[in-house]
Amino acid sequence: MKRFYAILLITLMVCGYTTAQTTVKYPFQDTNKTIDERVADLVSRLTLEEKATQMLHDAPAIKRLGILPYSWWNEALHGVARTGRATVFPENIGLAATFDPDLVYRIGEAISDEAWAKYNIAQRLENYGQYTGITFYAPNINIFRDPRWGRGQETYGEDPYLTSRMGVAYVKGMQGNDPKYLKTAACAKHYVVHSGPEALRHSFDAEPSMKDFMETYVPAFKALVTEGKVESVMCAYNSTFGKPCCGSSYLLNDLLRKQWGFKGYVTTDCWAIQDFYKSHGAAKDAAEACALAIKSGVNLNCGNEFNSLPDAVKRELVSEKEVDAALSLLLRTRFKLGLFDPINQNPYSKIKEDVIGNQQHIDLAYEAAAKSIVLLQNNNHTLPIKKDLKSIFIVGPYAANQDVLLGNYNGLNDRLFTILQSVVGRVSAGTTVSYREGVEPSVAYKNKMNYSLGEVHNADAVIAVFGVSGVFEGEEGESIASSTNGDRLDLNLPSNQLEYLRKLKANCKKPIILVLTGGSPICTEELKTIADAIIFVWYPGQEGGRAVADVIFGDVNPSGRLPITFPKSVSQLPAFEDYSMKGRTYRYMTEEPLYPFGFGLSYTTYSYSNMKMDKDKIKKGQSVNVTATITNTGKTPGEEVAQLYITDLKTSVPSPIFALKGMKRVKLNPGESKEVSFEVTPSMMELVTENGDRVIEPGDFKVYISGSSPSELSRRLGSAEPVSKIFNVTL
């Protein structure tokens, strides 16, 4: 390691750079000065043109000052992404299914460790390109308010509370707790009211009610700023309330900075500023757009539009003083990361390559995948199956597919365990395992002599791996099989896959275990009659195949819970372009869905009992403590996800039918009981009025502790009966 630093220092000195100095030439290099003093000195030494280039995502070198190039654009949604080898954790929608913020915190720590290891090596190689830095465009904390959105897979689901807890945990894990240095810079995106359609994202104006805005779309961003101290916020492409999000002083100055106290930098989504004059009609040209962005609170341009900033200053559309103020906030982050300090002063510069994909991170990726898998159906206890069956038939377009492990915004490595590989690795050596792809993901099979339909006759069990992948859903331009810019306007299983499964069922007399992949709901109700057991595995990461196999054979008892409602069909949904929450998500949906939010079965059974409250009448501003006993009433060890929901029983304006306000994972052996406790705080009792204010109205509140959202459907599908109590709030 000493040799590494010596080589790096010599290389930098030979190239004329002194960023990792042993001597101080300028005050901004003096680590004894405050960050504000150092920033002010550096800004004073830059020309206007240099200032503009330092506010681009690809900030070039300034050789005369010894400043290295730096790319602000880096990705780490569920692992360091787009830069080669890294641990690949489950896609975020799968992480949300764990209902485990502590797990997400540990994943954030692991990702930031690998990020520094890769950054240290990239610096040695003089690789200053995109995706090699330590400022990341993650997490995506938009609300998955409509299951048709192709990027919903990147989010933590449809609920603002769950999204807030997962997002804050990720940010804290990524940014570290060193008293001096920021570990990496996380970014809360896409601010705000951004969730499709992808085809309209550059021009759409989202205008929710102020109630929906403050109750649903804003809370996660506020939590990441006020609790997580997130270093960056990315403004979205679309407009909100009539102004481009990256050109809205209300969003970026009034709400974000003045009300919430945000101290970090605002970055645009990539090339969003050009939408000001190409789509939104908010500016006539690049110079006007740049001036609007600066005046509205933007600090970093992901794109190249800020090359027009000098022209904007020359035309007196914005002042150089305003440019200086925006740049100063941005540069603070580089100083906080230690990028202008001697290398040996930063503890993270000592992180070595061997941390990348180490056993601890492999185990963490496996834990996340195992906890994310949701058991949707298990007729007649089909699962788990035995490892020593005489024969198993594996079929489906995703059984041997690695893409469904990766999701999008992903890293890569040489350890990608498919479901086929993992099942074969688990069964007895005497078990006959046959495999056929059966059908292409989106192409009807033409060969009527399809052998796979005949081979199913001899199997004792069939494992069918179907669903959707990144070719069906994703970001604009990403999904090659999508004709709707990555959105899934039809939530059914692709028709050719369904046709094949029907034929499979007709030829099969033994149990069919249906494994579904994807980042959004598959709402074909007929699958319930085709399959004996159904598990939903999302995009489960590099260890996903292992986790799926272990669930199938019972080495893991599934404990994932749905972070999004599965509707029966798109006919139950409001218009995709409508950002009102009426009729959306479990909080406001009145029709019965296919599967409810929070739902997931287990190989054992649980019961809830003995619910207690420390008081049933309180004054406004007081808290209530609630407890309940959970018992494993089955014969298998398991981990239950206890969920706390609140309903305000009488309100002056519409309020959520149920609202998640707490969650705890509880491990229980057969026959074992444990008590869980939650504090119902005043903020959990708040009602959001039509004008967006938060108030606590007097009256009765019903609180539930359950293993799913406490609907009648949850109980019919097999969730434990919830326990509930009512407390009263008085003025």
Catalytic residues: 269, 473
Helices (H), 400-493: 403-406, 419-426, 451-455
* Contact present, 41 and 28 (Cβ < 8 Å): yes
Q: Which DSSP string corresponds to 292-336?
A: HHHHHT--BBSSSGGGGHHHHHHTTSS-HHHHHHHHHHHHHHHHH
Sheet with strand 624-632: strands edge to edge: 606-613, 624-632, 673-680
Name the burial class of residue 723, with classes exposed (0-12), middle (13-18) and buried (19+) by CB atoms within 10 angstroms of its CB: buried
Interatomic CA distance for residues 612 and 91, integer angstroms: 37
Interatomic CA distance for residues 695 and 685, integer angstroms: 8
Rg (CA), the chain: 27
| Alpha-carbon torsion angle 474, 479, 483, 484, nearest 10 | 20
Interatomic CA distance for residues 84 and 353, integer angstroms: 13
Return the closest-CA partner of residue 646 out of 636, 634, 657, 635: 657
Assign 183 to helix, strand or coil: coil
395-414 per-residue burial string, b: 16 or more CB within 10 A, e: under 16: bbbbbebebbbbbbbbbbbe
Question: Residue 482: what are its φ and ψ, rounded to 5°?
Answer: -95, 130
Interatomic CA distance for residues 567 and 125, integer angstroms: 50
* β-bridge pairing 638-648 and 659-668: antiparallel
Q: Which residue has the tokens 């992901």?
A: 302
Return the closest-CA partner of residue 191 out of 158, 213, 210: 213
The DSSP 8-state label assigned to residue 122 in this structure reads H
Q: Which residue has the tokens 């809830």?
A: 608
C-beta atoms surrounding 574 within 10 Å: 16
Cβ-Cβ contacts under 8 Å for 181 (sequence gap 6 or more): 336, 337, 338, 346, 347, 348
